[in-house]
Amino acid sequence: MTIKKGDIVRAEVTGIEDYGIFVKVENKYNGLIHISEIASEYVSNVNEYVKLEEQIYVLVLDIDNKSNQLKLSIKNINYQAKNIKNKANETRRGFLPLYEKLDSWTNEAIDELNKNT
């Protein structure tokens, strides 16, 4: 999977420090969620937001492909991932891919119906 700036991807929490959260993404990238990117309000204890080895969603703010380092955020996204093993990866595009395909799928269905009548 290619990760781009603006994507929301799954990550595993690998470390928690006073200044932020360390994660790994797809065993390829390491990332930091700086304390300023955890919540809109004041964060007094990072441990109140995540636990070690927890699976969460993160927003990719920046990528350094040379070092495979990510700058990440969980602010303003639903980062908690309960039972995510069976879920598809979510992106910021939301329903846009469905909207983009809707016309072609509708036309295909109409053509199929016309063939059968």
Per residue in 96-110, pLDDT (tens digit) is: 778 788 889 899 889
What is the domain-level CATH number for residue 55? Answer: 2.40.50.140
Q: Which residues of the chain have pLDDT under 50?
A: 83-86
Domain of 57?
Answer: 8-115
Number of domains in the chain: 1
Per the domain annotation, does 29 fall within a domain?
yes
Per-residue HEC secondary structure of 94-111 comes to CCHHHHHHHHHHHHHHHH
Output the pTM of the full model: 0.68
Per the domain annotation, does 84 fall within a domain?
yes
Separation in Å, CA 60 to CA 12, 56, 99, 107, 113: 14, 13, 24, 36, 43
Per the domain annotation, does 3 fall within a domain?
no
What integer pLDDT is reported at residue 82 of this predicted model? 63
Per the domain annotation, does 1 fall within a domain?
no
Per the domain annotation, does 2 fall within a domain?
no
Per the domain annotation, does 110 fall within a domain?
yes
